[in-house]
Structure 1
Amino acid sequence: MGFLDELRAVVPVSEAPASADRSGATGDGPPLAIARPDTVDGVRTAVRLASAHGVPVVPRGAGTGLAGGAVAGRGELVLDVSGLDRIVEIDPVDAVAVVEPGVRTAALDRAAQEFGLRYAPDPASAKISTIGGNIATNAGGMRCVKYGVTRDAVLGLDVVLADGRLISTGRRTVKGVSGLDLTSLFVGAEGTLGVVVGATLRLRPLPARTLTAAAAYDSVAAAARACAELTRQRREPSLLELLDGATLEVIDRAQGTDLATRGRALVIAQADGPSADEEITAIAKVLAEEATGSEHAVDPESSERLLFARRMALPSIERFGRALIEDICVPRSRLAEAFEGVARIAAAHDVRIHTFAHAGDGNLHPIVSYDGPLTSEVHHAGDDLFSLALDLGGTVTGEHGIGLLKRNWLAREVGPDVLDVHTAIKTALDPRGILNPGKGF
């Protein structure tokens, strides 16, 4: 009996079309098949059989990734874990949730809100992405400036190893230092070390108030200085976003707004919790110092109105063409230099680049907009963006992962010795190299 026959006897299997994600990356041909287990035992059996037959396995959730991390190629098995989609438990006393990997991020947040809690990480894809995918890439989001990225919310994991063994890492307690921190090792590993089949997650109190301030500036440099000043004055926004002029123009074009008439950059900040009123007042005062205009929201409705521009940035860009969605991160003190560098790259390659940033943690999203096929100029612009990040002491990815698209750049960022350590860990956990081959490193 062949591999697929053995697999079909234990889990649902279907033919696989060409595999892709939101990055636009594709494999070198149609995958072998798609396995769709809906139990942990099903995942274990599928991985164990794949290991025995030497078949590469590509774990996949909702397919919303932006770096090609869940793209499968010829001869590879897509392991679709989106059917493991139960919220197993929400404990309001310990403020933890136990979930399966196929749970949608926004669905967990909604469920937690019924207990006066929330799942703090908030990737832009929260409505469509899964917790498993967020864990695979260590996803971020707009609230990360205060609450951290996915890794900061993960207390423990259930992971199927390459030979089919199931291990549990971490714990339900907030504190715990027994043994090596294997939980953090698997978070962000993009499915190259094991398949996540369960997660214990930290929840946060739902803020009683969330207030917003926004300010327009005549230059990105002035906007970046305002963001740096907030850090210097030890203010604590729960959200701090910066949009450049090109982004404001495309939002106006798509949404009928007039943002670009107010300035060449926009900063949006939020504060939440018991001291939200005091904090947002202090933040608004700092933002107003060099602003061409500013607003200060006093209720949820006006806060949502001010945040509208940031939420509509990517949809507006994608309305008028295809988008290469990049993700670099630089030290916060060099944010202005990063924006200036992006503008130079756009001019040098004669491409449209719209840039917005999680300014509170230095994470920029330069979106290269283009029509038709992906040209060499678009590719070269992307490479120059990665080079810019490294030149400024940053990283080639803040939250989207390495996947297929950035493997060469990872080597340049971390160097050969660190890459050797990556490879040694991979070999120890996956000696046959079947888990998500060609991704990450």
Structure 2
Amino acid sequence: MKIAMVGSGYVGLVSGACFADFGHDVVCIDKDPSKIERLNNNIMPIYEPGLAELVSGNVKAGRLSFTTNLAEGIEGAQAIFIAVGTPSRRGDGHADLSYVYAVAQEVGENLKTPAVIVTKSTVPVGTGDEVERIIAETGTKVQFGVASNPEFLREGAAIGDFKRPDRIVVGVEDEWAKGVMNEVYRPLFINKAPILFTSRRSSEMIKYAANAFLAVKITFINEIADLCEKVGGNVQDVARGIGMDNRIGSKFLHAGPGYGGSCFPKDTLALLKTAEDYDSPTRIVEAVVKVNDSRKRAMGRKVVDALGGPTEARGKTAALLGLTFKPNTDDMRDAPSIAIAQTLMDAGVHVVAYDPEGMEAAAPLMPEVKMVGGAFEAVTGADVAVVVTEWDAFRAIDLERLKGALNTPVLIDLRNVFDPADARAKGFEYSSIGRP
């Protein structure tokens, strides 16, 4: 079947390429002509392992194409996905749905054959109803349905997540739309991927509830890590101990500098705003947002303390190893490194940084940070090395060489990458998260 994917960012591009790999005929549409030109030259707008090869293979096979013309792109499509951005709106924190609604308007004005319009973007409850209203008010006489189909892709593992999902959630209000969506995902039935059909509003709620719950787990273990440092416990042992309980599970129990990225920060905030609008407070999520925001700067203060405190730290240099919010991505949105670097600079500390993929995106966000071409270049002459992102390249780094390059052998491990005994045996003043 033909699928149109409106929006060629992270979600749209990965989803479109994967649908094409399943055998569907996919057109990815984007308003940005430079992005479309780069995609036509197999230059990816994002870093995602395996994506360039996947896109290239399906373009060559004739199943995947790119255009800036929405009217042409949706022609003959049985499913039209809306995968545009829904950033936090300035001033109030609500999800900015202007891009979603603009697409709905344009789709309604250009719809010529029956299609299901599918919101793939993360949207608040009730957005599907508004999309349906907007399309209907364009006066189209063509049969259409509106479905919700939230994405659950982890950056750095998105292709595998799409092809081997834990579940596929689809919110529909009629049997015809349900049948179309069944056909869209029929290639995944061979993997026995569970598909859950719900109402549109339940589907929209599932996405926010899932991300909020994961944010709660991350924040919970971070607070337990702080307590472990006070009482002499080891948060990794605690996480293993509670994670072995099937009711809790082991995932998202890795203590660190706080969550970031394209989803958790904006989605938790959007959920809070929805809860306020419906006079149904979500106090737990509210606390999580506040704790996570404060944690990032607390990690900066941890580094300042390792440099001898506010007075002694002034004029010293900190080397940040990793900038992106997680490894295997170039995404800097709400990355903890931003707040950490700013806290250090506020304390008069010079900051040097290296990241394998994120420096281009990081540079405009932290213009006073000196970006360099390698980990050892970053730490040379620095007074402390700080592991901010757990890239594989840092896990097996030569600690002897690292120590020799530093001005003072101070290592702050915000991702618990190294074994404390090994680091101290190498002569480091070593500090990690939630471990004695």
Q: TM-score, normalised by structure 2?
A: 0.28
Q: TM-score, normalised by structure 1?
A: 0.28
Greater share of helix residues, 1 or 2? 2
Bigger Rg over Cα: 2
| Higher RCO (CA 8 Å, separation ≥ 6 residues) | 1
Greater share of strand residues, 1 or 2? 1
